[in-house]
Structure 1
Amino acid sequence: MDPGFITLMRKLAPDLIDEITRRALILERIAALQPVGRRQLAAKLNLPEREIRNTAAILKDLGYIDLDASGMSLSGKADEVLETSRAFSKAMSGLTETEKRLCELLPADRVLIAPGNADEDEQVLADVGRLCASKLRSILMSGNTLAVTGGRTIAAVARSLQSPTPLNVMVVPARGGLGRSVEIQANTLAEEIAGKLGGHYRLIHLPDTMDAAALQEMMKLPEVSEAMELLERADVILHGIGTASEMMKQRRLPHTTVSKLISEGAKGESFGAYYDLDGRCLMESTNVGVDLARLKPTCEMVAAAAGASKAEAIIAILRHTRHYLLVTDQGAAERMLRILTE
């Protein structure tokens, strides 16, 4: 969206641009929540129900939405304007400029931001997943190997992935198993993503943590060694980012280790390693999974993380390893911008 055009519209027709912004925002939110009732959408957008009702009536007359007992849904015609509406909403909210600014301040080639804060609205996590899924599909090429971690954000990406035609990709988990939530473990998501893309997958049937001697024995198994070799040859790695405090608790680290990491300023966790705000690795991973140092130079890193609470964690991880793409939300982006410009 041309910034000059937006500026011109604001000067010449502020009343018109406000109405277009409202229509674009409501159309985009209906797409994310459909079917959705007027009252529910009004609460989500913090707008009077009367405004939602009036705008919905206009969008229906234009043929972009359908109204029935279950609520409002997009019509087939809406595909003509949906992506432009999303871009317009993002430009009007200032998120396009924030994306550019974060690219300048962080070692990331591209930053994409979904509106809202996942810490306050669970729907925002789904929006981050949709945004990441769309971009990921355009990055992948036939013959690529994709490695994926687990977690709620990567699960949101998996749910949103679509591929009109099968893509010949190999998907492997970037980690072993972790915790009790099988549905968001790396193995489960690798299989789901491969299915969505029409590709193939290999699994790592190992717990997330093993001592060195046990791991060395397990590496002798053909299925394990094959998966680990595929990891080292990955063309794209899709991963989430955790706050150090939450991941230390989740991994049940010893109290002495936790105290040491906190005193050293641990902020972010990725692939089982912990980093401070400057990107310095405070504790290397002893987990089963990808070794960043052994990846090929052309491997493209894609991170997805949402919520203002993850701002410091995201900065820590990206400062340690340059990324091709970061997908986050407005809450995290605005807090990162404040931290990086203090």
Structure 2
Amino acid sequence: MDSLLQAQLKLMPEMSILLQKRYRILQMIQLSAGSGRRVIGELLGLSERETRKELDFLRNQGFIEISRDGASITSTGNDLLIELKEVVREWSGRLQLEQSLASYLNIKEVIIVPGNVDTNTNTALLQSKEAAKYLESILSDESIIAVTGGTTIASISNYVHQTDKWKQLLFIAARGGVGKDVRLQANTIASLFANKMNGSYRTLYMPDSLSEEAYSTMKNEPFIKEMMDLYERTNIIIHGIGDALEMAHRRNSSVEEMQRLKEIGAVSEAFGYYFNNQGEAVHRIRTIGVQLKQLENMEHLLAVAGGTKKANALLSYFKQAPAQTVLVTDEGAAQEMMQIIEQNN
């Protein structure tokens, strides 16, 4: 932060709070154009009077337009969001929090968006948008990108730009199908990215969890061997991190299996592996897909997960995560993680 800004904050500390509030309002309007005053106020925890006052200010400055359909951001408002992003990131304390977490987790970078996905859907959209932006910054021609499933990863595909900038991008499913919703499975998500970015995709149409007999048979099939070869050559992987018991439930695990996971202290799940609080893999399912040892050789790992409820799972997984990982998360998870870290140290 430059000396002039530091001096201004000392003289008018309330300036930082006001700037962050107006920035959040603009951000929310950008993400959900057409929202009415009441919805904006509820999402940001503002009174109706305060919301009206701030919207009137932003409209008078030419940053937003208000019609019968609700509020929408102008090109001037979009430019302002870009100009203020780094200032707000520093004033809010997120920059310091990002650096502290990245250092503790021993990973390349942490990117934190404001809010908590557990309580605010717009925070989830911001998280997806930041993940999409980071993905586009690391792509190159002929990249092979593996994607896992789930709502969070599916949402990222909404924010990548429709483009043919990169040549021969290949998106591949990092695992088989988990859960009953086909829209949230890795195969579907790989196709969404490919269609948006003028790339191709390869699917893995099989259950995420296999019996020992099925696993032994399938791993020798030519198309499985081809997928395993693609995993060895993957440059980028985009993945979520799950709560162990929640993921077991999504896999329709039996009561006995759920109890077993509790007994062995499973806290987090990723790539079919279950990890305890020390980051040790205490259980794994038989699955055809990206294997844990393959992550070490991938150039970029983009992990996306947020919410206060995920804090313990994130700390568990990152005890063993590769150092080249970038985590996109939210304030809810980041602050809860730091609180747990401080309590344990």
Q: Normalised by the size of structure 2, how large is the TM-score?
A: 0.92
What residue number does 2:30 align with?
31
SS at match of 2:172: strand
What does the per-residue CA deviation read over 1:215-235, in whole Å, with 9 as the maximum and x for residues that have no partner? 444345444332232122111
What does the per-residue CA deviation read over 1:200-226, in whole Å, with 9 as the maximum and x for residues that have no partner? 111112121223443444345444332
What residue number does 2:196 align with?
196
| Stretch of structure 1 that moved more, 103-112 or 90-99 | 90-99
What does the per-residue CA deviation read over 1:224-247, in whole Å, with 9 as the maximum and x for residues that have no partner? 332232122111111011101111
Structure-2 change in CA distance of 1:225 and 1:257 (3 Å): same
**Cα distance, 1:170 vs structure 2:** 0.7
SS at match of 2:142: coil
> Are 1:166 and 2:165 matched, yes or no?
yes
Q: Does the Cα contact within 8 Å between 2:36 and 2:71 map onto a contact in 1?
A: yes
Q: Does the Cα contact within 8 Å between 2:20 and 2:92 map onto a contact in 1?
A: no
What residue number does 2:123 align with?
124
**Cα distance, 1:4 vs structure 2:** 5.5
- For 2:49 and 2:271, the matched residues in 1 are separated by 48
What residue number does 2:228 align with?
228
What does the per-residue CA deviation read over 1:133-178, in whole Å, with 9 as the maximum and x for residues that have no partner? 1111111111111000000110111222224443231100100111
Q: Does the Cα contact within 8 Å between 2:178 and 2:250 map onto a contact in 1?
A: no
Please show how residues 276-315 of structure 1 align to structure 2 within 5 Å: 276-295=276-295, 297-315=297-315
- For 1:330 and 1:49, the matched residues in 2 are separated by 25
| Stretch of structure 1 that moved more, 47-56 or 62-71 | 47-56
SS at match of 2:192: helix
**Equivalent residue pairs, number:** 341
Question: Given residue 278 of structure 2, which amino acid in structure 1 is its aligned partner?
Answer: D
What does the per-residue CA deviation read over 1:246-297, in whole Å, with 9 as the maximum and x for residues that have no partner? 1122223343433232122211000111001111110123112101213462
Question: Given residue 155 of structure 1, which amino acid in structure 2 is its aligned partner?
Answer: A
What residue number does 1:337 align with?
338
**Cα distance, 1:199 vs structure 2:** 1.2
| Stretch of structure 1 that moved more, 35-44 or 157-166 | 157-166
Question: Given residue 152 of structure 1, which amino acid in structure 2 is its aligned partner?
Answer: T
| Stretch of structure 1 that moved more, 20-29 or 265-274 | 20-29
What residue number does 2:86 align with?
87
Question: Given residue 102 of structure 1, which amino acid in structure 2 is its aligned partner?
Answer: L
**Cα distance, 1:3 vs structure 2:** 6.9
SS at match of 1:210: coil
What does the per-residue CA deviation read over 1:87-107, in whole Å, with 9 as the maximum and x for residues that have no partner? 333333222211111011102
**Cα distance, 1:341 vs structure 2:** 1.7
Structure-2 change in CA distance of 1:39 and 1:189 (3 Å): same
Question: Given residue 331 of structure 2, which amino acid in structure 1 is its aligned partner?
Answer: Q
What residue number does 2:326 align with?
325
- For 2:327 and 2:255, the matched residues in 1 are separated by 32
What does the per-residue CA deviation read over 1:25-62, in whole Å, with 9 as the maximum and x for residues that have no partner? 22112112212111211111111222222222232232
- For 2:176 and 2:140, the matched residues in 1 are separated by 25
Q: Does the Cα contact within 8 Å between 1:233 and 1:296 map onto a contact in 2?
A: no
What residue number does 2:107 align with?
108
- For 1:270 and 1:20, the matched residues in 2 are separated by 38
> Are 1:263 and 2:254 matched, yes or no?
no
Task: List gaps (5 residues or longer) in structure 2.
Answer: none
Structure-2 change in CA distance of 1:54 and 1:276 (3 Å): same
- For 1:296 and 1:93, the matched residues in 2 are separated by 34
Question: Given residue 331 of structure 1, which amino acid in structure 2 is its aligned partner?
Answer: G
Q: Does the Cα contact within 8 Å between 2:245 and 2:261 map onto a contact in 1?
A: no
Q: Aligned-pair RMSD on alpha carbons?
A: 2.0
Question: Given residue 43 of structure 1, which amino acid in structure 2 is its aligned partner?
Answer: E
- For 2:316 and 2:4, the matched residues in 1 are separated by 36
Q: Normalised by the size of structure 1, how large is the TM-score?
A: 0.93
Question: Given residue 11 of structure 2, which amino acid in structure 1 is its aligned partner?
Answer: L
- For 2:256 and 2:2, the matched residues in 1 are separated by 52
Task: List gaps (5 residues or longer) in structure 1.
Answer: none
